[in-house]
Every structure is written in C-alpha cells, then in structure tokens.
C-alpha cells in the first residue's frame, strides 16, 4: 500500500482536488480517468483508493460510492464509459458531501467523541442482506487489502 501511495500521491497533490471542492468537476474527473497510465490494467477500486484516497475517500465510503454509481469494484478503469463516469463523479460528490454534513460515519467519532450520523449503505453488516435497491443478496469479497461489499444485481 505504501509503495502505491507514494507512486500516485504526487499526482493528486499537484491537482489539489478535493472531492467536495467546486474544482472537482466532471470534466476534470473524466480527464483523470482518461490520463491514468494504468487504466488498462487497474480496477476502479485501485484507482480510487490509491488516488483520491489521499483526498479523504476511504475504503468504507468507496463501497457506497460504487454502489450509487452501479459499478463493480473490479471494473477496469478503461472500461468505464462516459455515462458511468458521470454517475461515478456524481456519486463521489453526493457521498462525500453527505458524509461531511453528517459529521462522518456512525461507526467513527469526532474530536468531541460524538459519533457521526452518516449511515453506510454497504457496511460490514450488509453481507447476506438484500440490496436496498433491487433485493439481490449483497456479497463480500476480499480485494486489494480490504473488504469490498457490492450488489451483484446493481453493480456490473
Ligand atoms: Zn441491487
């Protein structure tokens, strides 16, 4: 993880993009995916945790982002079409804005020891339960050093 982080981090640092800033436009996000050198080899999860992870998108928020965007965590970056890219950008904005407004996740605490109010759609209890959108059973895989929860019905 550390090696990956060091390899990718300067790219994001240079862009100074945070997911909730006005500069994080669809056009810029699309350009990031387009310019990504390993897009034919790496998955969207890899891209998201090794890049924007620096900007505050952790593995847990990523579950909800990919769910909202209806994209499977193992999809190659190069395979993501324009419509999906737009959905993904919207899902990042929506998820991170909600997370900040609600003071973080319910399973983490702030400086004053108050729990956050952001309820994750796909958390560790989601596995085996029906998808809130389509009713398909949520699956869990171990992938890239962390658990990935996803709906095999919605996320392709
Ligand atoms: Zn579903």
Q: d(Cα 154, Cα 25) in Å, to the nearest integer?
A: 25
Instruction: Report the pLDDT value the prediction gives residue 17, as an integer from 0 to 100.
Output: 64
Rounded to two decimals, the pTM is: 0.84
Burial (CB count within 10 angstroms: exposed 0-12, middle 13-18, buried 19+), residue 121: middle
Element housing 140 (H / E):
strand 139-143
**CA of residue 23 to ligand 1 center, whole Å:** 31
| Ligand 1: centre distance to CA 151 (Å) | 5
Burial tier of 67 (Cβ tally within 10 Å: 0-12, 13-18, 19+):
buried
Tokens matching residue 115: 């729990």
Q: What spacing in Å lies between the alpha carbon of 110 and ligand 1's midpoint?
A: 31
Q: Name the nearest CA neighbour of 94 among 61, 55, 58.
A: 61
Expressed in angstroms and rounded, the spacing between residue 68 Cα and the centre of ligand 1 is 10
Over its length of 156 residues, how does the chain's per-residue pLDDT go in tens digits?
A: 333 334 444 444 445 567 778 888 899 889 888 888 889 999 999 888 876 544 557 788 899 999 999 999 999 999 999 999 999 999 999 998 898 888 888 887 877 888 889 999 998 899 999 999 999 999 999 998 889 999 999 999
């Amino acid at each position: 993880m550390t090696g990956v982080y060091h390899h990718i981090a300067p790219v994001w640092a240079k862009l100074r993009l945070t997911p909730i800033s006005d500069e994080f436009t669809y056009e810029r996000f699309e350009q990031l995916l387009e310019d990504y050198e390993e897009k034919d080899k790496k998955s969207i999860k890899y891209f998201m945790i090794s890049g924007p992870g620096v900007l505050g998108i952790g593995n847990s928020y990523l579950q909800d982002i990919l769910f909202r965007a209806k994209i499977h965590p193992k999809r190659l970056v190069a395979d993501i079409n324009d419509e999906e890219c737009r959905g993904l950008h919207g899902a990042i904005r929506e998820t991170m804005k909600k997370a900040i407004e609600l003071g973080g996740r319910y399973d983490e605490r702030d400086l004053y020891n108050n729990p956050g109010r952001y309820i994750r759609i796909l958390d560790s209890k989601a596995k085996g339960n029906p998808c809130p959108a389509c009713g398909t059973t949520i699956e869990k895989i171990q992938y890239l050093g962390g658990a990935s929860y996803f709906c095999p019905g919605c996320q392709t």
